[in-house]
Structure 1
């Protein structure tokens, strides 16, 4: 196993844009364990960067964080994202890695992680994902060296976010 997990060979970022629903994730401080209805909304900007709007429901309230991502190479499968205010995004070491590890051919499911294997998200274009598909992508994560013991399956209540 290499130092970093493999990413997909190429991502058409324009096709990747739109709404994604979080199906499962490894724990992280920005997404409390009791959060529900987590989604990400991506929009390609004129400069080629991606506007990121993450939403979640917590205690009945909807919370939103807005950031920006940019591809770090020509593949489009390795991005860096920052949620700092626009004027502070230049500061080094304030961007997180968003590596697309697996992607359905029809862009309906995406497995995203970080190169240090601390962060992982299973995303789908719909709030529900059948068990067979979910297990297929989680098996890829295991194969790439991710520890899924603390995995959180994200509940979707059907309430709008």
Structure 2
């Protein structure tokens, strides 16, 4: 498990070959983006204002989520569940950085032929398909009726 100071932003997710998500407290992320805007340009001379998008979400992948991990462990103990297993799962979901590119490539190496997006909005389909383009792997959003119909042939 990787650890970072809770008051500092970190790369919480790599979601494409050149796309990263900076996670952290809003003021920390804003400071990091300000530094990037002042100092970084891409190969075409574009500054981060053109390359940074603010995601209006509150997600994990950051040490600031440690209290939530502790809460899961408390709930597990209260209900007689395996506390360490619950803590480990919560830590993985809420705090551990994710390299989506590596995860997709690992699935391809395993011979996966179809990936099902079961989330509430199908938002990962485009990211996944972009990484796996040319691999012959179908990425299907089954979060809605249309995807379920495609999956089950209805």
Normalised by the length of structure 2, the TM-score is 0.27
Q: Higher helix fraction: Structure 1 or Structure 2?
A: 2
Which structure ranks higher in relative contact order (CA pairs < 8 Å, sequence separation ≥ 6)? 1
TM-score of the aligned structures, taking structure 1 as reference length: 0.26
Between structure 1 and structure 2, the one with the greater Rg is 2
Higher strand share: 1
